[in-house]
Amino acid sequence: MAQVITVTSGKGGVGKTTSSAAIATGLAQRGKRTVVIDFDVGLRNLDLIMGVERRVVFDIVNVINGEAKLSQALIKDKRIDGLFILPASQTRDKDALSKEGVGIIIEELMKEFDYVLCDSPAGIEKGALMALYYADQAIVVTNPEVSSVRDSDRILGVIQSRSKRAEEKREPVKEHLLVTRYDPVRVERGEMLKLEDIREILAIPLLGVIPESESVLKASNTGNPVIMDVESPAGQAYTDAVGRFLGDDRPHRFLEVEKKKTGLFGRLFGGRAA
């Protein structure tokens, strides 16, 4: 049965859209028909990160207003079979979204796809509430800093109280924690929160830890979801996270400071990380 997954956060700039693109791509790579919807009306970025910005003709607001069919607005990814993007509007504001209109779109997409991924704006304004309302599962993205974790805690309260599942007193939205921009060196110095502290505060299952990596910015600038960079730690960490989401038993990586080689062997090879 099709599932609606919302990727959300309390704070902006934590890597939510990067994560939406990577997870949607990863699910499609695993053979799951996946569509990812950009709910950030007025500030759309998902199309850039997915590399389809030049192919946008119609958007979610056009579909809601009856100006285009859903099939006309959907963009098929040319690299990955079974992956589609529904872009946001750049020229409207978030009031253009209606609960009824979004519901009709999601209902139609659930007939055709295994996963409907909603890339939510940050915070709890209208676009974010629309993205959260129909969720079956939520991936809460946070950075290892106090303000980000505190805002994520607030978002968990919104998920638990203002989703359709909560309104109908059904089984709660299944929550997952995704920690991004994690740097073990800075954690060791006390400049970032420890993973254990984040988990204790938010108290939801850990889906993945994405290490700080230059490959994320490079991927965003080139329109290639970072999960496609199989050599980068960030790409590998997203692949692991998708695997866990689908039920794989995978250990968490990139959590510790890499040890340096010591002694003669280390000096001979310039002390590169082991």
Tens of pLDDT, residue by residue over 189-198, are 999 999 999 9
User: To 5 degrees, how large is the angle CA 164–CA 125–CA 28?
Assistant: 60
Q: Which two tokens stand for residue 22?
A: 């990577």
Inform me whether the pLDDT recorded for 266 exceeds 80.
no
pLDDT (average), residues 157-167: 93
pLDDT tier at 263, thresholds 50, 70, 90: low
If one compares 183 and 125, the residue with the highest pLDDT of the two is: 183
| pLDDT at residue number 261 | 53
The H-assigned helical ranges of 134-230 are 146-162, 164-167, 184-188, 195-202, 214-222
Inform me whether the pLDDT recorded for 92 exceeds 80.
no
| pLDDT at residue number 127 | 84
Inform me whether the pLDDT recorded for 180 exceeds 70.
yes
259-265-267-273 Cα dihedral, nearest 10 degrees = -30
If 0-12 CB within 10 Å is exposed, 13-18 middle and 19+ buried, where does residue 54 land?
A: exposed
| pLDDT at residue number 264 | 56
Q: How far apart are CA 253 and CA 55, in angstroms?
A: 36
Which of the residue ranges 11-20, 132-141, 199-208 would you say has the lowest mean pLDDT? 11-20
| pLDDT at residue number 260 | 61
pLDDT tier at 270, thresholds 50, 70, 90: low
Inform me whether the pLDDT recorded for 126 exceeds 60.
yes
What is the rounded average pLDDT for all residues in the chain?
A: 91
* Kind of pairing between the strands at 137-142 and 3-8: parallel
pLDDT tens digits, one per residue of 33-64:
999 999 988 778 899 999 999 999 999 999 99
| pLDDT at residue number 272 | 47
State pTM to two decimals. 0.91
| pLDDT at residue number 44 | 81
pLDDT (average), residues 150-167: 94
* Kind of pairing between the strands at 75-76 and 83-86: antiparallel
Q: How far apart are CA 71 and CA 260, in angstroms?
A: 54
pLDDT (average), residues 254-268: 68
Residue whose C-alpha is closest to residue 254's, from 149, 145, 177, 180: 180
Inform me whether the pLDDT recorded for 185 exceeds 90.
yes
Q: How far is CA 18 from the centre of its chain?
A: 6
Longest dimension (CA), the chain: 71
234-255: buried (b, 16+ CB within 10 Å) or exposed (e) per residue?
bbbbbbbbbebbeeeeeeeebe
C-alpha distances in Å from residue 134, one per residue of 25, 165, 176, 270: 21, 8, 16, 54
The edge-to-edge listing of strands for the beta sheet with 174-182 is 75-76, 83-86, 34-38, 115-119, 3-8, 137-142, 174-182, 206-211
